[in-house]
Amino acid sequence: MDNVDLQVLRQVQSWQQAGHAVVLGTVTRTWGSAPRPVGALVAIRDDGLVAGSVSGGCIEDDLITRVREGAVATELPQVVRYGVSGDEAARFGLPCGGTLELVLEPVRPHSQINALLTQLDAGTRVLRELTLATGAVQLSTATGPDQLRLSVDQLMSVHGPSWRLLLIGAGQMTQYLASMALALDYQVVVCDPREEYLPDMPGVQRLRSMPDDAVQAFAPDAHTAVIALTHDPKLDDLALMEALRSPAFYIGAIGSRLNQDKRKQRLAEHFGLTEAELSRLHGPVGLKNGARTPPEIAVAILAELTAERYGFRIPEPIRLQPGTDSGPGCVV
């Protein structure tokens, strides 16, 4: 679930508290290209105000008209489709023959929007089960993959952070990186056993354990990134030792290329990491774009994380300018 959709839920809560009726729409299926992915949310207030989006605006315009006229989802959830015919596809800005399917539900107290947001604010991944025949909702902790399923009777959707980021070290750059990562829908955890390096960071979980214990407890999976930022081998190496043996999709460490070479040598000699495991280490960490200040380096790191998430391989000439031996992470 991305921050755009989280903002939609917060707006729904605000409108409800102000006494407005609200219809919540969830994209459940698309055929052909679509402006928003399956699971995307849109909310329409009784007077036509909209939060979120599912198209370039044409579908929203139609939904606004139908909500104002009381012609959609006034009592129970319903499934609607747009763009089945070529004419409709053109009208609603979809590719010819494309289709967008939505579940529209009138938001009621039993929709449990407040309870859902409370759990999301606590960093929990939540499975929301909507019974189409009654509009009743059940919430539980999500343990499986981040999937949306629509059956004849029920809409099941997973909400909450599907990507996780474990940062080793709580220095200045960590604060920039953590705050930016939250905006990109990461659940962020910062580990630093040094009490003087543990500033307050809203929305970020903080650990005082040793880095190797923190990585083990974090149990990195294919939606997890681990980045070492302390410049202290006693801390960074412990985290990397565990992370490089995990399924984490991205593992990085701050430092120059020379420092990275020394780090790999230590990890091989002292912890027995293989060449294949060491080849997974991104260092110097981040996209090589000339970044120098902590916030610039944080942007470079998150740019590379984004590329890794989507399987995008950045051409080497873009990553490093000829004749240079440095990149983000080597100057702080």
Which of 100 and 261 is assigned the larger pLDDT? 261
Bridge-based pairing state of the strands 99-106 and 78-82: antiparallel
Can you give the residue ranges of every domain in the chain?
A: 3-159, 163-319
Identify the pLDDT of residue 121.
Answer: 83
pLDDT at 19: 96
Measured CA distances, 92 to 33, 69, 320 (Å): 13, 19, 44
| Sheet of 154-159, strand order | 137-141, 126-131, 154-159, 149-150
Reported as a single tens digit per residue, the pLDDT across 173-216 is: 999 999 999 988 888 999 999 888 766 788 899 999 999 999 99
Reply yes or no on domain 163-319 having CATH 3.90.1150.10. no
Q: Do 211 and 168 contact (CB within 8 A), yes or no?
A: yes
Helix axes 233-243, 257-271, angle to 10 degrees: 70
Q: Which of 208, 226, 123 is nearest to 170 (CA)?
A: 208
Query: Cα–Cα distances in Å, from 181 out to 154, 175, 201?
Result: 33, 10, 12
Q: Please choose, from the candidates 267, 177, 166, the residue with its C-alpha nearest in 3D space to the C-alpha of residue 219.
A: 166
pLDDT in tens, 221-279: 878 999 999 989 999 999 999 999 999 999 999 999 999 999 999 999 999 999 999 99
Q: What is this structure's pTM? A: 0.61
Which residues on neighbouring strands pair with residue 188, listed in sequence order? Answer: 165
